[in-house]
């Protein structure tokens, strides 16, 4: 699956089970994909960087496929208490830290899902 924001296509790994959502990018790098998309219920969600190994941009997307919140370059955390990143949406996209700034991705941008291979 691909997520398209502006002129940027991200090959993403889909996370929709409780286990996939809770593990997220813990201990992982982007090898063979550009990000992770989390399919959540519509509402407020909280993410953290516990046991992640690379900085991430965390993007909250609502049911209308509009970006509602972006956290830039969230640093990995290996302590028992980690910072939370909260936002409203139905989907959450995690991509390599710095991509939003480099690719001019902003709150209010439209997102589309492409369910085919390139």
- The pLDDT, as a whole number, for residue 23 is 73
Tokens of 110: 């439209």
Please, which pLDDT band fits residue 117 given cuts at 50, 70 and 90?
low
Query: Residue 43: which domain range?
Result: 2-114
87: closest CA among 32, 46, 51?
46
Number of compact structural domains in the chain? 1
Residue 64 belongs to domain with CATH number: 2.60.120.1140
> Any bridge partners for residue 84, and if so which?
48
Please, which pLDDT band fits residue 116 given cuts at 50, 70 and 90?
confident
> Any bridge partners for residue 56, and if so which?
74, 96
Q: What predicted TM-score, i.e. pTM, was given to this entire model?
A: 0.92
- The pLDDT, as a whole number, for residue 73 is 97
Q: pLDDT for 1-48, tens place per residue?
A: 999 999 999 999 998 877 777 777 777 777 889 999 999 889 999 998
């Amino acid at each position: 699956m691909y997520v398209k924001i502006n002129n940027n296509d991200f090959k993403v790994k889909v996370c929709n089970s409780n286990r996939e959502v809770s593990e997220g990018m813990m201990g992982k790098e982007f090898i063979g994909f550009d990000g992770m998309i989390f399919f959540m219920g519509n509402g407020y969600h909280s993410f953290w960087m516990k046991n992640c190994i690379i900085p991430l941009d965390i993007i909250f997307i609502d049911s209308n496929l509009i970006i509602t919140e972006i956290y830039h370059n969230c640093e990995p955390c290996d302590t028992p208490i980690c910072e939370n990143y909260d936002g409203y949406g139905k989907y959450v996209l995690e991509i390599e830290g710095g991509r939003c700034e480099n690719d001019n991705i902003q709150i209010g941008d439209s997102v589309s899902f492409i369910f085919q291979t390139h």
